[in-house]
Amino acid sequence: MTTEDDEQNQLMTHDTLWNQIAWTIYKVDDQGKYKMTLEGYDDHLVMTVPFADATQEEAGEAKQRVLRNESSPLEYFMYKRLLDPKSLAQAMGIAVWRLKRHFKPEVFKKLDQNKLEEYAKIFNVQVDDLINFREDA
């Protein structure tokens, strides 16, 4: 037998088109308790879709920079996975300025295997996809 509190503690996720983000929507009920809900979900997407579209546009621009050897594949995958420099730096446990250095092709080529593996894990790709820039990874 499940109680209302047990139901509130369950984590219910809703996948978006991009499958990289999981959402849980909560609202306060009449008793002031948080409840999971689908209400307002579409409103939330209305705010998220423009962000995701803009990020995908950034990914396209980053791809061109990678192909021109002006940036590393890290920048492309960051945007492709709907991240920004601050969130990626936090995930890596490094400062944003250091992350931005990793975007420089000459610095990227010198990254050690451990760093590359950390990035690959965050992006959910293989290290080889980073090194040889496989955009479809």
Residue 17 falls inside a structural domain:
no
Q: How far apart are CA 128 and CA 59, in angstroms?
A: 19
Residue 59 falls inside a structural domain:
yes
Q: What is the pTM of this model?
A: 0.64
Instruction: Quote the tokens at residue 104.
Output: 């420089």
Tell which wins on pLDDT, 20 or 60: 60
- How many independent structural domains does the chain possess? 1
From the list 35, 63, 81, the residue with the least C-alpha distance to 134 is 63
Residue 96 falls inside a structural domain:
yes
Q: Give 43's pLDDT tier (boundaries 50, 70, 90).
A: very low
Q: How far apart are CA 58 and CA 61, in angstroms?
A: 5
Residue 78 falls inside a structural domain:
yes
Residue 69 falls inside a structural domain:
yes
pLDDT at 8: 44
Q: What is the CATH number of the domain that holds 99?
A: 1.10.260
From the list 70, 68, 66, the residue with the least C-alpha distance to 78 is 66
Amino acid at 95: A
- If you average pLDDT over residues 23-41, what whole number do you get? 59
Report the chain's terminal Cα–Cα distance, integer Å: 44
pLDDT at 21: 47
Other C-beta atoms lying within 10 Å of the C-beta of residue 134: 12
φ, ψ of residue 12 in degrees (nearest 5) = -115, 120
Most confident of 1-15, 34-48, 49-63, 120-134: 120-134
Tell which wins on pLDDT, 52 or 3: 52
Domain that holds residue 106: 42-131
